[in-house]
Copies of this chain bind each other. A is one copy, B any other.
Amino acid sequence: MEAAPNERDMRLSWMTQPEGRAVVALDEEGLVLGTANMYPNRPNQGSHVASGSFMVGAPARGQGVGRALVRDMIDWTVERGFLGIQFNAVVASNDRAVRLYESEGFRIVGAAPGGFLHPTLGPVDLLILWRDLP
């Protein structure tokens, strides 16, 4: 297992620059509830497909923050003319996330068997999810 990444590295890797985009979801007092980033999944002949990642803070779960971030991403990708969204590595044991994505039009198109070494569950599949746009 590698050491936990530090804040600087995390910030650099998460804060996608144009042509990608990073967003935060705030509550009415300006507290960060969650964040998302989004970007072309591949260069050149694969650049018509977007990808992205989501994080919702533990205290904010179950309040629709993730769904709001996913919908915001879909809107952005449609606006930008992407033809599909691909999530490359959704941890299969994260039922909540998988159900959320499915309810927003994504479907499972593949799985890397045991692609994620879960700290308590052991090897868990990493799912590949796809959504046609719009």
Contacts and interface: CB of A to CB of B under 8 A. Distances in A.
Interface in A10-53: 41-49
Contacts of A130: 112-113
A10 B109 CA distance: 30
Interface of A: 1-2, 5, 41-49, 83-84, 86, 88-89, 109-119, 126, 128, 130, 132
Given A2-B47, A44-B1, A47-B2, A128 B110 contact: yes
A84 B114 CA distance: 9
A109 B113 contact: yes
Contact of A86 (B44, B45, B86, B112): B112
A130 to B, nearest CB: 6
B115 A86 contact: yes
Contacts of A119: 45
A45 B118 CA distance: 7
Given A2-B44, A43-B2, A47-B2, A111 B114 contact: no
A115 B1 contact: no
B116 A46 contact: yes
